[in-house]
Structure 1
Amino acid sequence: MAQTLIIGAGITGACLAFALSRRGDPVTLVTAHPLGGTASAASFGWLNASFHLNDAHFALRLAGLAAHRTLQALLPDLPTTWPGCLWYEAAGDRFEAVASDLAAKGYPMQRLTGAKVSALTPALGPVPDMALLFTEEGVADPAILARALIAASGARVVQARVDRLTEAEGKVTGVLTDQGPILADRVILAAGIGTADLLRPFGFSLPMLTRPGMTIATEPLPPLCPLILASPGQEVRQDGEGRLIAPAAAAHQSD
């Protein structure tokens, strides 16, 4: 049976490990970082298709929402919730354009007046005159989700730094780590920005957007924010421990 080695233990590596394990494939997962990854751990975790660049991007994000629900049906204890999102990032013509586009696509949503917004989120201020409620959007903390998927996969986990891929007769045969070599029939790179360095010796140039990412978390607070909030210039949600979570900058949506 083919031995698969996955480099990286963020959400991508974890999903691959889980999917391969369901096929019965033996999986070894190698990471130098805590399970859950680094980029994944800094993600806001908003599951949505309301933001999209074009129809193909919308279809991809919609498929992602469906995949999360399928995954939750397979593993009911996954920490994925579906509180919905209150969106008022734009106003005026831009607001109407977003509302019209999503309505034409049949996206589940409701148009709310300021009074209805206040009723849903009493702690919110200032209250927008108009907002859209995306009723089927959710939250999945990627690091927590990744750890749950790795545990469910039963993958062998090796905490080690991968220095390079190994090869013989034109074929990748495994990896060399700071703890020694690990052989495999196939190697999957899910190492985030580290993937480019691992590929470079083989003559591959992998374009990567590399820049710092950070989320901000408060101390646990009483229930204040029952929905994901997408306001002008900021996004906020409250996690299961009561902490308010926000990306350091919401401008990532333009990538």
Structure 2
Amino acid sequence: MVVGAGVIGAACAEALTAAGVSVTVLDRGAPASGTTAAGEGNVLVSDKAPGPELRLAQASRRRWPELLDALRAELGPRRAEAEWEPKGGLVVVTGVDGIRPLREFAAAQRAAGVTARELGPAAAAELEPHLTKDVAGAVHYPEDAQLQPVLAATTLLAAVRARGGQVRAGVTALGVTRGTSGAVTGVRTDRGTLPCAAVVNACGPWSGDFARRAGAPVAVQPRRGMVLVTGPLPAGTVRHKVYDGDYVGAVAGGGAGLQTSAVVESTRAGTVLIGSSRERVGFDEALRVRVLRELARKAAALFPVLTHVPVMRAYGGFRPYAPDHLPVIGADPRLPGLWHATGHEGAGIGLAAATGRLLADLYTGRAREVDPEPFRVDRPGIVPGEAAA
């Protein structure tokens, strides 16, 4: 049983069914209607420092196009369209003080196998003609990509259904049942108890709540983000995923207060997505005009052409935040049969393909492409109390 039909739950279910496991996916709402629907679809290596998350991102970047090609062959192109775009990314700084940190970060990534090409202002302008003239330096990341997150999740779920699995929307998971041995025997829901041999907690920002109800709490909290969407613009206005160098610091930051940085990218429909913001405000869904205003101001500073472009809409969502900024992937040693796939924060779309594969490899005992140790559930800071020790 996979609880959560967002892109992480969908990726886990797809990988498990590909390995021959019988799977049912539950979600209290419609599939891909939570955090996944509020995402930008980023598949990034550019924003991750060398370490376990970057290795997971690299594995996922390799896997996404292969997986989508395989699903198109299995399901047909109409049922497996995720708008995959290997457009590349461009990270820029507009002050000379930012050049050295940008170069040092890129050098460390190159040592870890990332393609990161340092550019001067003129070369950056060739890639993005509408970029501000104040650019002092840039790094081009050709491996960065983008897909449409809802389409990606529904494609994965279509494969689950085609292989005999079930996807049940409108079913709220309330906890688990245990047998005499203490292991999971089912999931308690508002529609009754559903028997299973194992349950995957893929509830995103709500993973902490489900884990607590299951009797095995984990320290995953919601962290809110907001995005602006412009009206359609001429093709080529924004050609890559472009963001200011301070975005990397915002991603790695752990403060509860508001953090914003300029992140700009186009979609196939011609609209431009503008982010990004991060703040821990619980599950408060109120739109904050000051956040939207700051996003618009920073985006216009990066791309002056956007100054008078109308904003079509704004949306926000909650991301699953783990204190050490690493996903939680694997079996819970406190409760046999309980598994977790959560804590990806804003990188869930990009990390989903490798996360699903890793969880399925662990569940079936296959060889793993990525070392699971850094993502284990019982690491310090994730499990409260003595279990972490």
TMscore range, shorter length: 0.7 to 0.9
> 2:14 aligned to 8, 15, 18, which one?
18
Equivalent residue pairs, number: 251
Q: Which moved more, 1:147-156 or 1:61-70?
A: 61-70
1:132 aligns with 2:139: yes
Partner of 2:86: 82
| 1:249 counterpart residue number | 277
Partner of 1:101: 108
Task: Report deviation, 1:17.
Answer: 1.2
Structure 1: how far apart are the matches of 2:173 and 2:271?
35
Q: Is the 8 A contact 2:208 2:217 kept in 1?
A: yes
Letter of the structure 2 residue corresponding to residue 221 of structure 1: L
Tell whether the 8 Å contact from 1:47 to 1:65 is kept in structure 2 after alignment: yes
Alpha-carbon distance change, 199 to 115 in structure 1, aligned in 2, over 3 angstroms: closer
1:168 correspondence with 2:179: yes
- % same residue: 24
Q: How do 1:212-231 and structure 2 match up within 5 A?
A: 212-223=224-235, 224-231=237-244
1:210 aligned counterpart, secondary structure:
strand
Shift of 1:150: 0.4
Higher relative contact order, chain-length normalized (CA < 8 Å, sep 6+): 1
TM-score for both structures, normalised by structure 2: 0.59
Question: Is the contact between residue 239 and residue 245 of structure 1 (CA under 8 Å) also seen in structure 2?
Answer: yes
Q: Does 1:208 align with 2:215?
A: no
Question: Do structure 1's residue 92 and structure 2's residue 99 form an aligned pair?
Answer: yes
Conserved? CA contact 2:89–2:242, under 8 Å = yes
For the residue of structure 2 that corresponds to 1:221, the secondary structure is coil
Superposed displacement of residue 240, structure 1: 1.3
- Pick closer, same or farther for the CA change 1:123–1:53 going to 2, 3 Å: closer
- Tell me which of 208, 211, 218 is aligned to 1:196: 208
Q: How does 1:13-92 map to 2 (within 5 A)?
A: 13-76=9-72, 77-89=81-93, 91-92=98-99
Alpha-carbon distance in structure 2 between the residues aligned to 1:11 and 1:156? 16
Gaps (5+ residues) in structure 1?
A: none
Question: 259, 262, 270: which is aligned to 1:234?
Answer: 262
> Displacement, 1:37?
4.1
Which residue of the partner structure matches residue 182 of structure 1? Answer: 194
Rounded Cα–Cα distance in structure 2 between residues aligned with 1:250 and 1:134? 23
Comparing 230-239 with 197-206, greater Cα deviation is found at: 197-206
Matched residue, 2:167 = 157
Contact 1:87 1:229 (8 Å CA) reproduced: yes
Between the aligned partners of 2:103 and 2:210, the Cα distance in structure 1 is 46
The Cα of 1:89 is off from its aligned counterpart by: 4.3
Give the distance between the partners of 1:213 and 1:108, measured in 2 at CA: 28
Report the equivalent of 2:361.
Answer: none
Q: Deviations over 1:112-144 (max 9, x none)?
A: 232222222222224513211111210123332
Contact kept, 8 Å, 2:238 with 2:266, in 1: the verdict is: yes
Rounded Cα–Cα distance in structure 2 between residues aligned with 1:17 and 1:109: 33
Structure-2 separation of matches of 1:177 and 1:119: 55
Partner of 2:151: 144
User: Shift of residue 197 of structure 1?
Assistant: 2.4
Q: Supply the distance in 1 between the matched residues of 2:52 and 2:206 (Cα, whole angstroms).
A: 28
CA contact (8 A) 1:234 1:250 kept: no
Contact 1:117 1:127 survives alignment (8 Å): no
- Cα distance change of structure 1 residues 195 and 98 upon mapping to structure 2, 3 Å threshold: closer
* Cα distance change on mapping 1:15 and 1:202 into 2, 3 Å: closer
* Whole-Å separation in 2 of the counterparts to 1:206 and 1:56: 20
Equivalent-residue separation in structure 2 for 1:247 and 1:40 (angstroms): 15
Contact 1:30 1:158 in 2 (8 A): yes
* CA–CA distance in structure 1, aligned partners of residues 151 and 28 of structure 2: 17
- Pick closer, same or farther for the CA change 1:165–1:55 going to 2, 3 Å: closer
Q: Rate the CA distance shift 1:180–1:104 in 2: closer, same or farther, 3 A.
A: closer
Could you tell me whether the CA contact under 8 Å between 1:213 and 1:248 is conserved in 2? Answer: yes
Which structure 2 residue ranges, 5 or more long, are not aligned? 73-80, 246-260, 280-318, 326-389
Does the C-alpha gap of structure 1 residues 162 and 58 become closer, same or farther in structure 2, counting only changes over 3 Å? closer
Q: Cα RMSD between the aligned structures?
A: 2.5
